[in-house]
Amino acid sequence: MPERLRGKTALVTGSTSNIGRAIAEVFAAEGAHVVVSGRNTQRGVAVVTGIRALGGRADFVTADLDGSAKASSALAEEATAALGGRIDILVNNAGVYPSPGTTDTDEKTFDHVYAVNVKAPFFLTASIAPAMAAAGGGTIINLGSWIARLGVPAGALYSSTKGAMETLTRAWSAEFGPQGVRVNAVSPGVILPPSPEGTAPHRGQVMMHGTPAGTVGTPAAIAHAALWLADDEASFVHGTVVDVDGGRTGVAVISA
């Protein structure tokens, strides 16, 4: 089968583990030159080593996306250099998930979660999208979450940041789409731990009762959805949030 991303370059944030790692590995397997980024150098190098062992192209760029424009701009610059001067695909995956209840959330935690989950991808996109447009186009894929639309206890802070990312997906599509930059999002459901949602195995299974899938998903499921959005097959898809959640947010299975 032809490599669907042959000749493309990609930056995947938070790709030293879990969903981000799966996306980086799938993109590389499909021919893309991938920059793996994250705070943990040891894990990042391990991901790159694994990709290269299978014949893929990958480099690691250390990044602590703290929400500052400076940190996002620095990653954009280093990743662009590592990828030979251009980024065709940006995946805004990096995120944190402290899960205190609303009344137990202090201001420091609130600011940190918004800094990592919203400000960092905002300024990273601001750094990369114009260069994509100048080069003739590109693709941006954001990571949302099922709990942005299905309320759960103790999820207010995190879910609100993912709601912001889904809104930014539509806004950026309107802003950058006419310049040739497609912007979409993937909204993962309950994924096999460790996941961004931090769901323990037994709890995750319970949360998927009454859904068509009936069980939790895997990082690979999210990675393949991201691959479709990155590929030219999805060239007519703009400003869309693709739910990959086993039907959690949209379907109730009623047993007789």
Catalytic residues: 158
The label of the residue with tokens 């186009």 reads 137
Instruction: Give the Cβ contact number of residue 101 at 10 Å.
Output: 11
Closest by Cα among 140, 146, 246 to 188? 146
Which residues are paired to 187 by β-bridges? 243
Residue 18 neighbours by CB under 8 Å, 6+ apart: 191, 194, 195, 196, 219
DSSP 3-state assignment of 11? Answer: strand
What is the C-alpha to C-alpha distance for residues 149 and 207, in angstroms, rounded to an integer? Answer: 15
CA atoms within 13 A on the CB side of 81: 7
